[in-house]
Amino acid sequence: MKTLLVCDRSGGHIFPALVFAKAFEKEGEVCFFATAESLKGYIRDRGYKVWGKVFKKRNIFCEALWRFSEAVYILLLVRPERVIGFGGRDSFFLLFFSSCIFIPTAVYEPNAVMGAANKALSFFSRKVIYGFDAGDNRDKACVVGVPLRENIRKINRDEARKHLGLNGKPGILCFGGSQGSEFLNKNFIKLVAELDEEFLIIHLTGKNNYRECLAMYEKIEKAKFIKDFYYDMQYLYSAADLIISRAGASTLAEISYYGIPPILIPYPAAGGHQKANALYFEERGAARVFTQDDFNFADFKLRAGELLFDDAVRNGMIANLAKIKLAVACDEFGENIGRMLK
């Protein structure tokens, strides 16, 4: 059976799709549609064919015209026997046309609330698959959790820090998703400059602000590991005692797996789903949440210090994280999905 996996342009779409791909390889060829150049290369490196035009500048009207004709072309070229969408407006026409011509379709929504494209497509798709429990009681809906990437595993903390060239102090990991975040970068560097205690800095800046951040770090005399992007996240997570990040579903699954207290600053232009994800964790005592629109740096600094150095606060949050069953091992997730979509 030939399967087409349809993604948008973020790692939050593509990394779960790669887990699906692994599950379907035994059944036949797996192909991808994706619209981020760097992540398309990542997919190709794993042996999959990828289609999808990359637009460097976004224009909804022009993109919609292109995606319409592109979807027809890809369906005629690939002739998939099953199509699965992972959200984002770039995926809409491929899923919609597939359902119209009776190709079995499914949408996977890993977030606490469904994105606009998946919400519309859920009415046409044969299956609606959720990561969080979204309260959807339709017969075609099911909850399976969020898959961990294949390389995500727990490593001894000292071994992880040695791999990164760091020592044994407490460590803060900051990252803004696959694209990086100028807002997180700016406030995190300000935080590490103002905290007096000794700790390790692990920071993924994204490509756009990398050189600027390096220049700012030259003035900070703390042990640090600074990269624009890093695929081997298992070392970064295993070396960290506190995480400062956005609130994508894949990120939260990994945070819950490692049990590391997080401070979450949801991406404000993500259709509200990152905020819903973050609040899901905060309501269960498993995160501190700050919104970008009314960000309070003084409170942010206070909470970061508590979670890094106050054992009672840290341990309470770690205990609450252990109660959240969001992350699913890659093999187990693949087996469940394979059975579900047969």
Give a yes or no: residue 310 inside a domain: yes
Using alpha carbons, list the distances in angstroms from residue 256 to 280, 315, 323, 325: 12, 14, 9, 8
pLDDT at 19: 84
Q: Are residues 317 and 281 in the same domain?
A: yes
User: Which amino acid does the sequence have at 192?
Assistant: V
Q: Are residues 26 and 134 in the same domain?
A: yes
pLDDT at 307: 97
Secondary structure (DSSP) of 205-261: --STTHHHHHHHHTT--S-EEEES--S-HHHHHHH-SEEEE---HHHHHHHHHHT--
Answer yes or no: is pLDDT of 179 > 90: no
Give a yes or no: residue 286 inside a domain: yes
Q: Report the percentage of the chain scoring pLDDT > 70.
A: 99
Q: Are residues 230 and 321 in the same domain?
A: yes
Q: Are residues 14 and 135 in the same domain?
A: yes
Task: Calculate Rg over the CA atoms of the chain.
Answer: 20
Q: Looking at the 3D structure of the chain, how many domains does it have?
A: 2
pLDDT at 245: 97
Beta bridge pairs of residue 108: 129
pLDDT at 16: 84
Q: Are residues 141 and 188 in the same domain?
A: no
Residue 33 binned pLDDT confidence (cut-offs 50, 70, 90):
very high
Q: Are residues 140 and 243 in the same domain?
A: no
- Structural contact between residues 242 and 87, judged by C-beta atoms closer than 8 angstroms: no
Give a yes or no: residue 150 inside a domain: no
Q: Are residues 317 and 335 in the same domain?
A: no
Give a yes or no: residue 140 inside a domain: yes
The count of other CB atoms within 10 Å of the CB of residue 121 is: 26
pLDDT at 270: 64
How confident is the model over 1-18, as a mean pLDDT?
86
Range of the domain at 276: 157-325
Query: What's the token pair of residue 129?
Result: 């698959």
258-275 confidence digits (pLDDT tens): 999 999 999 998 668 899
User: What span, in angstroms and rounded, lies between the C-alpha atoms of 60 and 125?
Assistant: 24
Sign of CA dihedral 134, 177, 189, 186: negative
How confident is the model over 171-177, as a mean pLDDT?
93
pLDDT at 10: 75
CATH number at residue 182: 3.40.50.2000
Q: Are residues 137 and 184 in the same domain?
A: no
User: What span, in angstroms and rounded, lies between the C-alpha atoms of 120 and 67?
Assistant: 17
Give a yes or no: residue 180 inside a domain: yes
pLDDT at 180: 83
- Structural contact between residues 283 and 266, judged by C-beta atoms closer than 8 angstroms: no
Q: Are residues 95 and 161 in the same domain?
A: no
Give a yes or no: residue 230 inside a domain: yes
Strands (E) across 184-229 are located at 200-204, 224-227
* Best-predicted range by mean pLDDT (4-13, 270-279, 317-326): 317-326
3-class state of residue 32 by DSSP: strand
Residue 9 binned pLDDT confidence (cut-offs 50, 70, 90):
confident
Give a yes or no: residue 152 inside a domain: no
Beta bridge pairs of residue 203: 174, 226
Sign of CA dihedral 324, 112, 20, 54: negative
Q: Are residues 335 and 275 in the same domain?
A: no
- Structural contact between residues 333 and 19, judged by C-beta atoms closer than 8 angstroms: yes
User: Which amino acid does the sequence have at 115?
Assistant: G
Query: What's the token pair of residue 239?
Result: 């070396």
Answer yes or no: is pLDDT of 306 > 90: yes
Residue 244 binned pLDDT confidence (cut-offs 50, 70, 90):
very high
Residue 92 binned pLDDT confidence (cut-offs 50, 70, 90):
very high
| Half-sphere CA count of 296, side-chain side, radius 13 A | 7
C-alpha triplet 139, 141, 142: angle, nearest 5°: 115
Query: What's the token pair of residue 6?
Result: 């349809």
* Closest C-alpha to 184, from 176, 173, 195, 193: 176
pLDDT at 271: 66
Determine the straight-line distance between the first and last CA of the chain, rounded to whole angstroms. Answer: 10
119-166 confidence digits (pLDDT tens): 999 999 999 999 998 778 788 998 889 988 878 999 999 999 999 999
Beta bridge pairs of residue 200: 171
- More confident site: 337 or 236: 236
pLDDT at 183: 96
Give a yes or no: residue 295 inside a domain: yes
Q: Are residues 123 and 240 in the same domain?
A: no
Query: Mean pLDDT for the chain?
Result: 92
Q: Are residues 168 and 311 in the same domain?
A: yes
In the block, which residue shows the tokens 């102090």? 169
Beta bridge pairs of residue 32: 5, 50
